[in-house]
Structure 1
Amino acid sequence: MDFTPLSRFIDRIVAWRIPWAEVLVMHRNETVFRYRAGYEDLEAKTPIGEDRMIYLYSLTKILTCAAALQLVEKGAILLGDALSDYLPEYAEMKVRQQQPDGSDSVEPAERPITVRDLFTMTAGFSYDLTAPALAEAAKRTNGRLPTREFAAALAKEPLLFEPGTRWNYSLCHDVLAALVEVVDARRFGTYVREEITGPLGMRDTGFFLSETQRSRLVPQYQYDDESCKAVRMDGDWHLVGTEFESGGAGLLSTVSDYALFLNALTNRGTSPDGVRILSAAGVDLMRADQLSEHTRGDYNWSQLAGYGYGLGVRTHISKAGSGSLSPLGEFGWSGAAGALAIIDPESQLTVMYAQHMVNNPEPYVHPRLKNVVYGCL
């Protein structure tokens, strides 16, 4: 293996517009390459250091779906169950519909939201964190808005479409976290710590930072097209309550720490030390394409061409469609600040890529990064 092209690629995108970038490559449970370049603090010209804390944003979704899949394996829930069996407020949902004269109306939903809909982004939710019902609940809880309260409030908002009929990237996995809480009777963050991150030895992954960890949280940036430079944009805009443990975007971690979780999935659910978080069958279900003829047309992001959507993850289904060097069955997801997870059981390959700039050029960086990695093997 020669990873010179990968280090050159990282250098190129850092020189282009990204303040810093880091990539960790594991093959057969061994770290075979790690490289970082750029400045964690552009103003102070501080080189990116080791084990820096970052917002994972939507990379959280992979872990949330793994947590919920554990409950499927235990027989506590089924994918076909109605969500209202566990969260009763979802029993009588409304759907926003457009009338022939162009006006909007709100009608009773004809289909129930299922547990599968939460996993697969087909429940009909939006990604509007400023929705009136959420704002009201935050005010009512004095800004705490715990995860279960968040889900209860979201049920008051009309759906965008009939459950199961379309794919829409949304707050589904935040509600999935609330489902885990209700079924298991532990707070979602406690469940994650006791069932996944703790057993795997992940000491730097969680929803809230200790003081020591906060000292390692790196600045976040946003690229400004007018000035053609990255400008500082600190804060987590997904944190809508002080007790909200967002299953869709709430985790913070480090490259090293989150790679431990990703590598367990590469090993089809079991860490190199023998800690099992999912069965091999559970991992295979997670990466099985769940899109239907009704939902596939909505899943049209350019960087996901040739990929299906499983239980919370992209999954490679067509080399001709993707132009990717990765094998079929490679899966993972990405985050709003630019992080990318590549999980590949067939090649026994795990890749954790990180940066900390929102409005990131994901359609450019991620497909290229993936091909460069596989070209180095």
Structure 2
Amino acid sequence: MDFKPLALFLDRITAWRIPWAEVLVMHRNETVFRYRSGMLDLEAGTPIDEDRIINIYSMTKIMTCVAALQLVERGAMLLNDPISLYLPEYAEMSVKRGEDGEKTLAKAERPITVRDLFTMTAGFSYDLSVPSIREVIETTAGKVPTRAFAEALAKEPLQFEPGTHWNYSLCHDVLAALVEVVDGRRFGVYIQEEITGPLGMRDTGFDLSAEQRGKMAPQYFYDDALGKAIRHDNNGFRIGTEYESGGAGLLSTVSDYALFLNALTNRGTSPAGVRILAPATVELMLADHLTSATRPDYNWEHMKGYGYGLGVRTHISKEESGSLSPIGEFGWAGAAGCMAIIDPANELTVMYGQHMLNNQEPYVHTRLRNIVYACI
């Protein structure tokens, strides 16, 4: 294995517009390459150093789906269950009908299922400024517990009949609330006790200790008008002090999250024997769950050749993707640019980290993945 081209790529993108980048590659449970490039703090001129904590944003979704799948394994719920069995506020939903500009509301004909939450087919949007969300922020004095968020969102009409379209949305935030109700523990406590704690992930969670706050990496946003990255530290998806967003709320490090990803690479069990999912469940997770109705909506250019599983992209066509990774490679990414590559067939795990919004994902991630596979 020769990873010099991967190091050169990180050097190139950090010389371009991304303040810093880091990659960790594991093969057969051994770290075979780790490299970081660029500046942690552009203003101070501080180079990136080890184990900085970052917002992983939508890579939270992978862990949220694992948490919910654990409850499926235990028989606590089924994918085909209506979520109203557990979240009764979703028993009768209204849905928008008609053409844009002439929308009317009607009663939804089909219930939202647990599967719909996993597969982004529930009918939600990603709009956190809707009236019900603004109201719950006010009525909870800015706390917005995860369960209260789900109750508030149920007041909003659906964008489409459940199951008929794929739409990237707040589905996994509601899935986190579902975990809370089905299990009985607060979502962050469940995550810590069932996943991060057993795996030895000490710097992953929804809130930071005083010591951990000192390890937080500055976050940037690339301003095209100014032609430079500017400091932008807040997580816009953290809408309340008690809100544990299953879609975008976790903080972690490259080292920590690689432990979690590698357990999935090993079909659900860590090298130390900690089992977070059964192999059959991992197979279900990475299966393509798009249908003839929903597939046309999953049309992001950089996802060509990929299907959508239970909260993850999953490689289904090398001819369409142009990717060097094998069929069945899966993972997801986050708003500030981090990315996961999970490859059970090759026993390969890649955790890529950066911390810049306006993250250049279509350019960086597709190239980085091909370079990794060329190097091995």
For residues 110-129 of structure 1, the C-alpha deviation after alignment (integer angstroms, 9 at most, x for no partner) is: 11000000000000000011
Give the 5 Å matches for 1:357-368. 357-368=356-367
Give the match for residue 86 of structure 2: 86
Partner Cα separation in structure 2 for residue 132 and residue 19 of structure 1: 36
Name the aligned partner's letter for residue 351 of structure 1: V
Q: CA deviation at 1:103?
A: 1.7
Give the match for residue 193 of structure 1: 192
Is 1:66 matched up with 2:66?
yes
Give the match for residue 208 of structure 1: 207
Partner Cα separation in structure 2 for residue 315 and residue 286 of structure 1: 9
Name the aligned partner's letter for residue 3 of structure 2: F
Give the match for residue 49 of structure 2: 49
How many pairs align? 376
Is 1:15 matched up with 2:15?
yes
Give the match for residue 323 of structure 2: 324
Partner Cα separation in structure 1 for residue 284 and residue 48 of structure 2: 37
For residues 128-160 of structure 1, the C-alpha deviation after alignment (integer angstroms, 9 at most, x for no partner) is: 111110110111111111000000000000000
Give the match for residue 97 of structure 1: 97
Give the match for residue 260 of structure 1: 259
Partner Cα separation in structure 2 for residue 119 and residue 13 of structure 1: 33
Q: CA deviation at 1:226?
A: 1.0
What's the secondary structure of 1:199's corresponding residue? helix
Q: CA deviation at 1:169?
A: 0.1
What's the secondary structure of 1:10's corresponding residue? helix
Partner Cα separation in structure 1 for residue 165 and residue 374 of structure 2: 36
For residues 32-65 of structure 1, the C-alpha deviation after alignment (integer angstroms, 9 at most, x for no partner) is: 0000000010010100010000000000000000
Calculate the TM-score normalised by the size of structure 1.
0.99
Partner Cα separation in structure 1 for residue 97 and residue 136 of structure 2: 25
What's the secondary structure of 2:190's corresponding residue? helix
Name the aligned partner's letter for residue 151 of structure 1: A
Q: CA deviation at 1:98?
A: 2.1
Name the aligned partner's letter for residue 95 of structure 2: V
Identity level (%): 72
Point out where structure 1 has 5 or more consecutive residues left out of the alignment.
none
Name the aligned partner's letter for residue 56 of structure 2: L
For residues 58-116 of structure 1, the C-alpha deviation after alignment (integer angstroms, 9 at most, x for no partner) is: 0000000000000010011100000101000000001012259x422111101100000
Is 1:6 matched up with 2:6?
yes
Closer, same or farther: CA 140–353 of 1 in aligned 2, 3 Å: same
What's the secondary structure of 1:308's corresponding residue? strand
Partner Cα separation in structure 1 for residue 124 and residue 103 of structure 2: 17
Give the match for residue 153 of structure 1: 152
Give the match for residue 76 of structure 1: 76
Stretches (4+) displaced over 2 A: none
Partner Cα separation in structure 1 for residue 272 and residue 43 of structure 2: 42
Q: CA deviation at 1:19?
A: 0.3
What's the secondary structure of 2:368's corresponding residue? helix
Q: C-alpha root-mean-square deviation of aligned residues, in Å?
A: 0.8
Give the match for residue 33 of structure 1: 33
